[in-house]
Amino acid sequence: MQPTKLSSSGSPRGVQLVRALVRALHPYVPGEQPKIKGLIKLNTNENPYPPSPRVLRVVKTAVDGRLRRYPNPAADRLREKLAQHHHCAPENIIVGNGSDELLALAVRAFVEPSPSAKTPKGKLARATVQYFTPSYSLYPVLAEMHGATTNAVPLESDFSLPGRAQLKRHKQWDFNAALTLVTTPNAPSGRGYATKELEALCVAQRGVVVLDEAYADFADANALPLALKFPHVLVARTFSKAYSLCFQRIGYFVGPMELIAALHKIRDSYNVNGLGQIAAETTLDDLAYYRANFRRIIATRIWLTGELTKLGFRVLPSETNFVLVQPARFPARDWLAKLGGQKILVRWFSAPELRNYLRITVGSQGEARALVAAVRQLLLG
Ligand SMILES: *Cc1c(COP(=O)(O)O)cnc(C)c1O
């Protein structure tokens, strides 16, 4: 996305009207969505394959006079279908305008906006949002805009989860944090976590834990059973990445009724658009189509990992639809520009722990081939 033009007049009065917290806020930086003909877009982990023909048909058919009506306020039909799919009740599910919306609601529902005094030892740290770094870079923004305290704790250097003993030893981890957000499999590292280690982490936490499983369909395992087992665990899923529906903005949480009910209380009355609800419902009727795409993307991921490794790149093992790589010969940031010159867009993060890496969406087999060909050529040139 092009940076939003924030001001045309530069009026100091206008600036003063904005809350100090908002003035100081560092907004989330989404991956670019440039409109360049022939661009190979491997920067935002979108699915290379379109929604199923059935989903496209049903959305097109729904575009008529009904657009004047409000959609179902709680996405009831979609929640019923999701409940069947996950073997739980509709009361265990809330649908959002993307899982991003639900992550924001979780911060508002479970975290106090300002740290009152220092939390007495052993008490729930009501104003703390906790997460590992690197993980989804939206988390600190959501915490900051709420006026909460952030506790960002580094993963191990190979991006694995520190064990409980390790977390205790390092002292920075807060077992009493009001809200802990865990991206699993992780982004942008691509690393998958075993359900057993996630369960151990959940058991150790006293506050709410959200397991953000945006990429679970590309992984060997998922932790959904934990959301139906514990009173304080939520699992976040999205139709964006695996189900080719980024444009429609549909995500959901699965979890215990009490937490889900709290989120329903504070959501917008019609938070999920009608065409998105229809698209997601039909997606669940057509899962064979999507599962074939998961297999294709995973096969391409394995192929791409092998080819880039042969060319001297260090490719981290991935259970997602992207790979994090340490490129050969040139600094990662130069690769971003060099590949851009060949109309291939990948993602580079300036954070110190990530600046030597590129994150590359797997894409179609054809896109991955084009990437490998461009890398080979740039290494020779
Ligand atoms: C893409 C992504 C999301 C956002 O998904 P939406 O449903 O499109 O809002 C959430 N978490 C992670 C880790 C993601 O990569």
Secondary structure of 260-315 as H, E, C letters:
HHHHHHHCCCCCCCHHHHHHHHHHHCCHHHHHHHHHHHHHHHHHHHHHHHHCCCEE
Residue 21 lies in a domain: no
Q: Are residues 172 and 305 in the same domain?
A: no
Instruction: Examine the domain organization and report whether 44 and 176 are in the same domain.
Output: no
Q: Are residues 160 and 176 in the same domain?
A: yes
Is there a domain that residue 22 lies in?
no
Is 60 exceeded by the pLDDT of residue 74? yes
Quote the tokens at residue 353.
């722990």
Note whether 69 and 211 are same-domain residues. Answer: yes
- Domain match, 102 and 231 both: yes
User: Do 273 and 322 fall into the same domain?
Assistant: no
pLDDT at position 1 = 45
Residue-level pLDDT at 361 = 98
pLDDT band of residue 170 (cuts 50, 70, 90) is: confident
For residue 343, is it within any domain?
yes
In this structure, which residue's CA is closest to atom 14 in ligand 1?
A: 214
Q: Same domain, yes or no, for 217 and 281?
A: yes
Provide mean pLDDT across the span 144-171.
94
Ligand 1: centre distance to CA 214 (Å): 6
238 assigned to some structural domain:
yes
Percentage of the chain beyond pLDDT 90 is 89
Please tell me whether residues 293 and 275 are part of one structural domain: no
Q: Which residue has the higher pLDDT, 324 or 117?
A: 324
- pLDDT at res. 117: 60
Same domain, 39 and 135: no
Query: Measured from the CA of 246, which atom of ligand 1 is nearest?
Result: 8
Position 10 confidence tier, pLDDT thresholds 50, 70, 90: low
The DSSP bridge partners found for residue 251 are 96, 238
Residue finishing a domain among 231, 259, 285 = 285
Number of structural domains (the chain) is 2
In the reported structure, the alpha carbon of residue 96 is separated from the centroid of ligand 1 by a whole-number distance in angstroms of 11
Number of neighbours of residue 27 by Cβ within 10 angstroms: 12
Q: Which residues line ligand 1 (CB under 6 A)?
A: 98-100, 136, 183, 187, 212, 214, 238, 240-241, 246, 251
Q: Are 109 and 158 in the same domain? A: yes
- Judge whether 210 lies within some domain: yes
**Residue 193 belongs to some domain of the structure:** yes
Identify the three-state secondary structure at position 142: helix
Per-residue pLDDT reduced to its tens digit, 87-99: 999 999 999 999 9
Q: What CATH number does the domain containing 66 carry?
A: 3.40.640.10
Q: What is the mean pLDDT of residues 49-54?
A: 98
Cβ-proximal residues to 120 (8 Å cutoff; 6+ apart), any chain:
none
Distance in angstroms (rounded) separating the CA atoms of residues 12 and 286: 54
Residues 325 and 184 in one domain: no
Angle between helical axes of 53-62 and 274-284 (0-180°, round to 10): 150
Closest residue by CA, ligand 1 atom 2: 214
Predicted pLDDT of residue 265: 98
Q: How far apart are CA 50 and CA 283, in angstroms?
A: 12
Residue finishing a domain among 234, 260, 285: 285
CATH (domain of 365) = 3.90.1150.10
Which residue has a Cα nearest atom 12 of ligand 1? 214
Cβ-based burial of 221 (10 A; exposed 0-12, middle 13-18, buried ≥19): middle
CB contact at 8 A, 257 and 91: yes
* Ligand 1 probe mutation, 94, 99, 103, most atoms within 8 A of CB: 99
- Domain of residue 369, residue span: 31-50+288-380
